[in-house]
Every structure is written in structure tokens, then in C-alpha cells.
């Protein structure tokens, strides 16, 4: 039987993760350990401090940022298997990878010994290297996430459970003011010049932005990454495009270009904000090269 460890981000989902944990804890009967995160990247440190030789089921309670940190901490620790109890605002991880909702499901995973290796991506900029479990992107969507998280309105509205309103406000503001750029993208040696690009996202799994199936062909168990670029589209059509993503029609639009390959490099003609798994990862300056590929290291996913 595996050791059971919970990593909980009490701030995720505007406190929803903590509430879910408190409810679950009342039901738990067997042995387990749990840790609450206090700050960004604390989950990475907590996982790295665990004895790597004990077979462990790690349950990350939070949103995609929390699962991302738990997986990053578990790299090079093949005895650790990771699942999520989704409690954030986006929760794209749980749409593709193993997630649990109840004590019974957790006990089921504890009894099972099967786990499968999962690939994750690496994003390299001129200054830093990042990993991503779901996706990494630059442009409009990253700008929206960045502006929302910095917004005073988000904090104020969160008190009333209305944090999403701040997000929609930023979407409208960015729709009106965002300046598209030319992206030069090379995928497996083939170069594409994409003028008036709004954003580029490199995907390891289909979902981004909280349930938008932007990259239907992405599969984290294969050796490929998919790159989606949205370019040459009017501001209001872009809004409509976000609506069609939920039903998968966006792939038929001329403005949506999709590429598949083992690695890619790209440059932008004006600075663009970036994210990995929805967390800010710096700014790509005009002319600087960023690249992405799959890592040879894997993390282990328990199978239900």
C-alpha cells in the first residue's frame, strides 16, 4: 500500500480548496500526511522534502498552479504518483489526468499499483527555463491572466465570491487595447510567419483557460507538442472564437493555425507576457527567441 500525502493550497479557488480539504479530512480514517502551502512554489519544496524511496500517492488539492508545483517537486521521484482533487478556478488538469472527488476514489487509487508515465513540456526563454504540465503561452490570454491577478478589483470582488467579474472586465479591456504582433514560429525545422497574432499556446493536453478544448489533438502520453496560433482576426471575432472553443468549432476557422511537432522556437515582433499552466512566467521581448520541447523526465499518474 502506498503512503498517502495531501498537499493543499488553502488560497486556491478563493478558499474553496481549504473547504474541500476540511470536509474530506472529517471522512478520512487511515494513515495520511497533509501539508498546507503558504506561498508560491511552497508545494515544490514540500514534495522535495518527502522521502523519495517510499511509494507515495500525492493528492494535490487546488487548481492547476498547485498541481503544476506538486508535479515539478516530484520530478526524478518515480515512487511518487500524482492525482488532483480539483478546487481551483480553472482545473484543466482534472479534465485530462487522474482526479478524485471523494474518499472512496482516493482509497481506490491507494489499493491500485498501476501508474503510467506522463510527459511534460519545457519552455526555455533567454533568461529562464520552466516546465509545463498543460500548456505554455504568450500573448492575449497570458496578458489577461497577468492583469487579472494583479487587479485590485479581483481582491475586492473575491470577498463577495465575484472574482470572475474582474476576469471578464480585463478580457473586455484587453479586447479593446491589445496590440497583435507578428510571430515567427518554427516547428520541427519548418518556419511559419504569422502576422497580426493575438496569442500562441504550446499544448501538452487539449484544455486551457478553464475548459476550453483549444488543442483537441494533444495527448500527454505521446511524443508530440501542439502549437496553436490565433492571428489575423478582428477583436469581436476573437470574442466569438472563445465561444466556439468549448464546442471545438474553432479548429475550422482560418484565424486558428495548429501545428504538431517535437520542438518549436518562436519570436515576437513586440513584447508579450507569458504563462506556464496559467501562472505568469515573464515577458518575451521583441526578437528574443523562446523554445519548447518535451522533457525526457516523466511523472507518474495513478490509473483508476
Ligand X SMILES: Nc1ncnc2c1ncn2[C@@H]1O[C@H](COP(=O)(O)OP(=O)(O)OP(=O)(O)O)[C@@H](O)[C@H]1O
The reply on whether position 99 binds ligand X by CB under 6 A is: no
The reply on whether position 94 binds ligand X by CB under 6 A is: no
Which residue, chain included where needed, has cell 473586455? 172
Question: φ, ψ for residue 198 (rounded to 5)?
Answer: -90, -45
- Using CB atoms within 10 A of its CB, is residue 200 exposed (0-12), middle (13-18) or buried (19+)? buried
Segment interacting with ligand X, rule: CB under 6 A, options 7-15, 184-192, 228-236, 242-250? 7-15
Q: Which residues contact 31 (CB under 8 A, 6 or more apart)?
A: 3, 4
The reply on whether position 15 binds ligand X by CB under 6 A is: no
- Residue among 37 and 56 whose Cβ is closer to ligand X: 37
The reply on whether position 279 binds ligand X by CB under 6 A is: yes
The reply on whether position 212 binds ligand X by CB under 6 A is: no
Residue whose beta carbon is closest to ligand X? 63
The reply on whether position 73 binds ligand X by CB under 6 A is: no
The reply on whether position 273 binds ligand X by CB under 6 A is: no
Question: φ, ψ for residue 145 (rounded to 5)?
Answer: -60, -45
Concatenated DSSP letters of 2-20? -EEEEEE-TTGGGGHHHHH
- Cα 179 to Cα 57: distance, rounded to the nearest angstrom: 45
| 3 state SS of 41 | coil
Q: What are 240's three cell numbers?
A: 466569438
Q: Report the residue count for the chain.
A: 304
Segment interacting with ligand X, rule: CB under 6 A, options 39-47, 111-119, 182-190, 293-301? 39-47
What is the closest distance, in whole angstroms, from the C-beta atom of residue 68 to ligand X in the complex? 8
Segment interacting with ligand X, rule: CB under 6 A, options 34-42, 77-85, 102-110, 246-254? 34-42
The reply on whether position 90 binds ligand X by CB under 6 A is: yes
The reply on whether position 95 binds ligand X by CB under 6 A is: no
- Computed on alpha carbons and rounded to an integer, the radius of gyration of the chain in Å comes to 19
The reply on whether position 157 binds ligand X by CB under 6 A is: no
- Residue among 121 and 209 whose Cβ is closer to ligand X: 209
Q: What are 185's three cell numbers?
A: 514560429
Q: Which residues contact 127 (CB under 8 A, 6 or more apart)?
A: 282
The reply on whether position 40 binds ligand X by CB under 6 A is: yes
What is the closest distance, in whole angstroms, from the C-beta atom of residue 149 to ligand X in the complex? 7
- Residue among 37 and 186 whose Cβ is closer to ligand X: 37
* Cβ 115 vs Cβ 81: under 8 Å: yes
* Cβ 271 vs Cβ 285: under 8 Å: yes
The reply on whether position 141 binds ligand X by CB under 6 A is: no
Segment interacting with ligand X, rule: CB under 6 A, options 20-28, 38-46, 192-200, 235-243? 38-46
- The size of the interface with ligand X (CB under 6 A), counted in residues, is 22
Residue ranges in contact with ligand X by CB under 6 A: 9-13, 37-42, 62-66, 69, 88-90, 278-279
Amino acid at each position: 500500500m502506498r503512503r498517502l500525502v495531501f498537499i493543499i493550497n488553502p488560497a486556491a479557488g478563493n478558499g474553496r480548496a481549504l473547504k474541500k480539504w476540511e470536509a474530506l479530512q472529517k471522512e478520512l480514517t487511515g494513515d495520511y500526511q497533509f501539508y498546507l502551502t503558504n506561498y508560491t512554489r511552497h508545494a515544490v519544496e514540500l514534495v522535495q522534502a518527502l522521502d523519495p524511496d517510499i511509494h507515495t500517492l500525492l493528492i494535490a488539492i487546488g487548481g492547476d498552479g498547485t498541481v503544476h508545483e506538486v508535479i515539478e517537486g516530484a520530478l526524478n521521484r518515480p515512487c511518487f504518483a500524482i492525482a488532483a482533487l480539483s478546487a481551483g478556478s480553472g482545473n484543466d488538469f482534472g479534465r485530462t489526468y487522474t482526479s478524485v472527488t471523494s474518499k472512496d476514489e482516493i482509497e481506490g487509487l491507494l489499493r491500485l499499483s498501476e501508474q503510467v508515465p506522463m510527459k511534460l513540456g519545457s519552455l526555455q526563454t533567454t533568461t529562464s527555463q520552466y516546465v509545463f504540465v498543460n500548456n505554455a503561452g504568450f500573448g492575449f490570454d497570458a496578458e489577461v491572466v497577468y492583469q487579472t491577478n494583479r487587479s485590485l478589483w479581483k481582491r475586492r470582488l473575491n470577498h463577495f465570491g465575484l472574482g470572475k467579474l474582474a476576469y471578464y472586465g480585463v478580457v473586455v479591456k484587453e479586447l479593446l487595447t491589445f496590440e497583435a504582433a507578428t510571430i515567427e514560429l518554427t516547428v520541427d525545422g519548418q518556419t511559419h510567419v504569422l502576422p497580426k497574432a493575438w496569442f500562441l499556446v504550446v499544448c501538452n493536453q487539449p484544455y486551457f483557460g478553464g475548459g476550453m478544448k483549444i488543442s483537441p489533438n494533444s495527448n500527454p502520453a505521446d511524443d508530440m507538442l501542439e502549437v496553436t496560433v490565433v492571428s489575423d482576426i478582428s477583436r469581436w471575432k476573437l470574442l466569438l472564437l472563445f465561444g466556439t472553443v468549448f464546442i471545438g468549432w474553432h479548429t475550422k476557422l482560418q484565424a486558428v493555425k495548429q501545428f504538431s511537432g517535437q520542438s518549436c522556437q518562436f519570436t515576437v515582433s513586440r513584447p508579450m507576457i507569458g504563462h506556464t499552466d496559467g501562472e505568469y512566467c515573464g515577458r518575451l521581448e521583441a526578437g528574443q527567441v523562446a523554445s519548447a520541447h518535451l522533457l525526457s523526465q516523466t511523472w507518474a499518474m495513478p490509473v483508476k
